[in-house]
Amino acid sequence: MGMSVALDGDARQAAAARIAEEQGLVRNAQAGDRLAFEELVHRYDREVLRLALNLVHRSEDARDIYQESFMRVYKNLHRFRFECSFYTWLYRIVTNVSLDHLRRRTSRREDQAPVPDEAEGGTRDFFDRQPEVRAAANPERSLLGQELGQHISAALKRLSPRERMVFEMKHYQGLKLRAIGDMLGTSEETVKNSLFRATRKLRASLDCMR
Amino acid sequence: MRQEDNNKDILNSAACEEFDSRLMLLAAGELTPDEEADVADHLKHCARCVEALERERELVECFAASRIEPDAALLASCRSGLEDALDRQEERSWLRRITNVFLPAGGLAPRPAWSAALLVLVGFSVGILGPRFLQRPAAVSGDSDSAVSSDTTGSSNFAPQFPNSGSAPIIDMHSAQVAGISVMPSGGGQPPQVELQMRAQQPFRVQGTVNNDNVKSVLMNILRNNDRFDPDVRLDAVDLLRAKNDDPEVRDVLCHAVHTDPNAAVRLKALEALNGAEPQDLVRKTLLDALVDDRNPGVRVEAINALRNMAAQGKVVSDDHMIAVLRDRMQKDPNTYIRLQSAAAIRDLGPREKF
């Protein structure tokens, strides 16, 4: 028991030190220290790119979202007032940029355009990758998985940008609903409803397949 | 009995609707312990919800398994693109600050009378002083290896760019732009012939090899004033000056390009041009500076490669500063290749640590 309390205390101290160190980095970056800014970028950019890539499924589009997001962070860093964590603030910007991108794409109906092959520099739909992993274990299941993946992929494209964002942040970023609400500037209840609607649509699509 | 079963089914069905959203949240790991206990109680009596929960979990597993991880190449290219965009943004901010210092538009905007007075003063100054500057004669050289010719017969211009004065036409390197560079290869290992078409108030042309002072001077001027000339012109200038990298002036200007040119390709080419130049100390210092300071990973890669190359040929002598720089890069450079190469360079050059 005593040991557990000590460990909790150590973890809390480590977390506090990490937060203080990050705040120091943000302050340096706000003062114009480019290296501090790059250090912040390198802490979170893999997660930002993952979110973008899973949302848009094309490396070119994901790169655009990545660059636009971090440039907005750079230009607006002086407005950050430490009222939330830097991570949350960054994700607010990333989700806004991504939602704009998804809305533009929905209005242009770009989702209907053929997705370029990986060999041509594009990224295949992520559900296409699924059977490759499982093929060795069970070819029959692999085929089913591929079919399932295609249905889910099609259903994902029918979600509204916000539903899709909530879904991706929950299932691909592993974020809690409360954190997603903070990042999207909405309540946990609204996020819960969006996730529920998204899952129901996906489930309906899968039921059609059966 | 059958009636009892039917009633139980109806009751369960109503409860199941209530639990529908909770099952989704349970599968997503979003329920509190109390809520989980409620759902667990319900699941003990409801096979339908157990099955639904199983389906929810399968779906979540399917999503989790199909997550795309960005590969290292994509991440590296995003980082590189961002660095370039930040460089451009910083340049713009710098220019804006300078502009604001000289043209404090915000301060003058609410004072139209002051703005008008300032405009009159500037106009008056330009009217009085401008012609005096323009009427100052300048000189241009002519030697056996080159020719500088004016395309017009104007008599006024400014810029003592070429020291050997004569009766040649007048040129103005301070405002001249390169309209075109033609490079014609020479045989027998000689440097190529260059023809530079310069656009100025009075256009002119410079011809010759890089061994000629005028040609060299114009090319060096291009690299020194990297904000006035296009990157492709600067790239040509580096390429041509490479043949004279043993000339101290040329070496200085190539080092200047490595340190200050805004274009990564020009910096890269200048690094290549310096490779093999004497004395090695200056080249080594420039390579180390580029390794530490350059934002572009491609330039840093070229710098560490050149350093390792020189080390392999025994052309570089290590000292504490160099080992300290390499150790710093080995630990801090964001690029994996550079970290590995720095470690290898320390292994090749550095003293063995005793444990």
Using one digit for the tens of pLDDT, what is the confidence trace for B118-144?
888 888 888 887 776 665 544 343 344
pLDDT above 70: residue A128: no
What pTM was computed for the model? 0.47
- Distance from the Cα of B348 to chain A's closest Cα (Å) equals 29
| CB within 8 Å: B59 and A203 | yes
In a domain, B173, yes or no: no
Interface membership of B65 toward A (CB under 8 Å)? yes
The range of the structural domain enclosing residue B48 comes to 2-65
Per-residue confidence (pLDDT) for residue B127, from 0 to 100: 82
Length of chain B equals: 355
Could you check whether the bond before residue A114 is cis, i.e. omega within 30 degrees of 0?
no
Angle between helices A139-158 and A126-134 (to 10 degrees): 170
Please give the Cα distance from B8 to B300 (Å, whole number).
Answer: 74
**Average pLDDT for residues B244-271, to the nearest whole number?**
84
- Residue B52 included in any domain: yes
Q: Is residue B317 part of a domain?
A: no
Question: Are A72 and A93 in contact, with CB atoms under 8 Å apart?
Answer: yes
Helices B297-312, B336-349: inter-axial angle, 10-degree rounding = 20
Q: Which residues contact A167 (CB under 8 A, 6 or more apart)?
A: A156, A159, A194, A195, A198, A199
Assess if residue B15 is contained within a domain. yes
Q: What is the pLDDT of residue B173?
A: 67
**Surface-to-core class of residue A169, CB atoms within 10 Å of its CB (0-12 exposed, 13-18 middle, 19+ buried):** buried
Start-to-end CA distance of chain A, whole Å, equals: 52
B39 within some domain: yes
Is the CB of residue A82 less than 8 Å away from at least one CB of chain B? no
User: Do β-strands B146-150 and B204-208 pair in parallel, antiparallel, or remain unpaired?
Assistant: antiparallel
CB contact under 8 Å between B74 and A50, yes or no, is no
A53 vs B77: CB contact, 8 Å cut-off? no
Pick the more confident residue, A66 or B242.
A66
Asked if A54 is an interface residue toward chain B (Cβ–Cβ < 8 A), one would say yes
Could you report the per-residue pLDDT of B286-329, keeping only the tens digit for each? 888 888 888 888 888 888 888 888 777 777 777 888 888 888 88
How far is it, in rounded angstroms, from Cα B240 to Cα A122?
39
Residue type, position B147, single letter: A
Quote the CA–CA distance of A54 and A52 in Å, as a whole number: 6
Q: Where are the beta strands (DSSP E) in chain B?
A: 146-150, 177-184, 193-199, 204-208
Question: Is residue A134 very low, low, confident or very high in pLDDT (cuts 50, 70, 90)?
Answer: very low
Instruction: Specify if B40 maps to a domain.
Output: yes
**Helical residues (DSSP H) of B225-274, grouped into ranges:** 231-241, 248-260, 264-274
Count chain A–chain B contacts defined by CB atoms under 8 A: 91
Asked whether residue B43 is domain-assigned, the answer is: yes
pLDDT at residue A69 greater than cutoff 90:
yes
Q: Provide the phi-psi class of A121: left if phi over 0, else alpha when psi is between -120 and 50, else beta.
A: left
The domains located in chain A, with CATH, are 7-124 (1.10.1740.10)
pLDDT for A208 equals 64
* ipTM of this complex: 0.74
Low-confidence winner among A6-20, B7-21, B187-201, B222-236 (lowest mean pLDDT): B7-21
Which residues on B lie below 8 Å from A31 (Cβ)? none
Q: Check the CA dihedral A195-A200-A201-A206 and report its sign.
A: positive
- Which residues of chain B make contact with A70, given a CB cutoff of 8 A? 82
Structure-block tokens of residue B123:
């106009």
The total domain count for chain B is 1
If you average pLDDT over residues A161-189, what whole number do you get? 88
pLDDT at B25: 86
Shortest alpha-carbon distance between residue A125 and chain B (Å): 9
Confidence of residue A210 (pLDDT cuts 50, 70, 90): low
Is the Cβ–Cβ distance between B315 and B352 less than 8 Å?
Answer: no
Secondary structure (DSSP) of B44-87: HH-HHHHHHHHHHHHHHHHHHHTPPPPPHHHHHHHHHHHHHHHH
B72 touches A at CB < 8 Å? no
Q: A195 contacts in B (CB within 8 Å)?
A: 24, 28
Burial of A185 (0-12, 13-18, 19+ CB in 10 A): exposed
**Per-residue model confidence (pLDDT) at position A48:** 93
User: What is the share, in percent, of chain B residues with pLDDT greater than 70?
Assistant: 74
| Non-local CB neighbours of B183 within 8 Å, separated by 6+ positions | B192, B193, B194, B236, B240
Are B341 and B348 in contact by the 8 Å Cβ rule? The answer is no
**CA-wise closest residue to B255 among B239, B267, B241, B243:** B267
The distance of A85 to chain B (nearest Cα, Å) reads 22
B79 vs A45, A75, A202: nearest CB: A45
Q: Of A42, A65, A93, A171, which to mutate for an interface test with B (greatest number of B Cβ within 10 Å)?
A: A171
Position A129 confidence tier, pLDDT thresholds 50, 70, 90: very low
Q: Please tell me whether residue B180 adopts helix, strand or coil conformation.
A: strand
Confidence of residue B199 (pLDDT cuts 50, 70, 90): confident
Is residue B142 domain-resident?
Answer: no
Question: Which A residues, 145 through 204, put their C-beta within 8 Å of a C-beta on chain B?
Answer: 145, 148-149, 152, 170-172, 176-177, 192, 195-196, 199, 202-203
Eight-class DSSP state of B191: P
C-alpha torsion A17→A19→A25→A28, nearest 10: -100
Contact B86 A34 (CB under 8 A): yes
Q: How many whole angstroms separate alpha carbon A103 and alpha carbon A199?
A: 20
Between CA B347 and CA B109 the distance in angstroms is: 63
Read off the tokens for B276. Answer: 């093999």
Suggest the residue from A58, A63, A90, A189 to mutate for an interface test with chain B (most B CBs closer than 10 A). A63
